[in-house]
């Protein structure tokens, strides 16, 4: 019995490891396309735009982030609008919401969901890593549900931070959730094999420890510590007003404030 259990655990680890090689084969832009494909499936669109989810509103962690910002109205840029779960309550509060999503069907349904509830929001179909909106136009930018970590490589995340920073008015705030875990998914030996596999396939040569495939369908990067999160946000041109972790789970939250002048990229 013990031998079978040990064999079962080993094969389970090997299976997860083999699946994780997807992250090593796909280059950063491929990983973004991989995520877009996952969210573009009809079943995924229906799940994200259903009334029960949209009407569930902001989570407790999201509400706490918002409470730390001295802004209760104005122009709000919502990155990854999905079906409108965040957009509806934010618009109800008095924010003028512009939502961004890389799936056209999600953006269209978010507008429809808001309209059914007597609200008006504006949506744009864009990839957040290539955000293109007028400079100095928004009081608040919002990126929830850990979607910040769906962007592969520090370079692309810093580029997105720069675009968000440009979009904010002087003194504007960026509310962001991220994923964090100090538990390595694989031991050092397995990690070495993964890196070799990336080189052999000319795949994700920009791989970072913490890069994972969640549920077999979506890329995500898990930070190893709050210090790494803080360093990245500061390198992107923001002052960290608040950085916190929930009582349980991998999702943390940040309240950031735009810093004037060129960011000190590290």
| 200-237 pLDDT per residue, tens | 888 888 888 889 888 778 899 999 999 999 999 999 99
pLDDT in tens, 170-208: 999 999 999 998 776 666 777 788 788 888 888 888 888
What is the SS3 assignment for 214? Answer: strand
- What's the pLDDT score for residue 15? 60
Would you identify the CATH topology of the domain 14-258?
Rossmann fold (3.40.50)
- What's the pLDDT score for residue 253? 95
Q: Are 23 and 204 in contact (CB under 8 A)?
A: yes
The residue among 192, 104, 211 whose CA lies nearest residue 154 is 211
- Phi, psi (degrees; rounded to nearest 5) at 215: 65, 15
Output the CA–CA distances (angstroms, integers) from residue 201 to 152, 165, 189, in the order listed.
Answer: 18, 35, 19
- What's the pLDDT score for residue 7? 42
- What's the pLDDT score for residue 5? 45
What is the SS3 assignment for 142? Answer: strand
Q: How far is CA 145 from the centre of its chain?
A: 6
Low-confidence ranges of the chain (pLDDT < 50): 4-5, 7-8, 10-12
Structure tokens given for 35? 């995520």
Output the CA–CA distances (angstroms, integers) from residue 139 to 115, 128, 166, in the order listed.
Answer: 23, 18, 11
- Phi, psi (degrees; rounded to nearest 5) at 3: -65, -40
């Amino acid at each position: 019995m013990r031998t079978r259990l040990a064999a079962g655990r080993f094969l389970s680890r090997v299976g997860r490891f083999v699946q994780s090689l997807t992250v090593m084969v796909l280059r950063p832009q491929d990983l973004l396309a991989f995520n877009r494909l996952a969210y573009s499936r009809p079943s995924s669109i229906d799940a994200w735009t259903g009334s029960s989810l949209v009407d569930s509103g902001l989570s407790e962690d999201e509400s706490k982030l918002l409470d730390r910002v001295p802004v209760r109205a104005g122009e709000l840029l919502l990155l990854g609008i999905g079906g409108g779960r965040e957009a509806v309550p934010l618009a109800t509060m008095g924010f003028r919401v512009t939502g961004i999503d890389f799936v056209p069907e999600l953006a269209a349904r978010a507008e429809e969901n808001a309209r059914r509830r007597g609200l008006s929001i504006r949506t744009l179909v864009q990839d957040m890593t290539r955000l293109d909106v007028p400079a100095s136009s928004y009081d608040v930018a919002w990126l929830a549900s850990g979607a910040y970590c769906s962007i592969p490589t520090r370079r692309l995340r810093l580029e997105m931070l720069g675009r968000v920073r440009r979009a904010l008015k002087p003194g504007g705030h960026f509310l962001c959730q991220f994923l964090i875990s100090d538990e390595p998914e694989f031991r050092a030996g397995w990690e070495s094999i993964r890196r070799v596999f990336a080189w052999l396939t000319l795949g994700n040569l920009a791989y970072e420890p913490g890069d994972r495939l969640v549920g077999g369908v979506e890329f995500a990067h898990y930070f190893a510590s709050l210090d790494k999160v803080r360093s990245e946000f500061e390198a992107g041109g923001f002052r960290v007003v608040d950085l916190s972790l929930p009582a349980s789970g991998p999702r943390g939250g940040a309240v950031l404030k735009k810093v004037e002048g060129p960011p000190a990229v590290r």
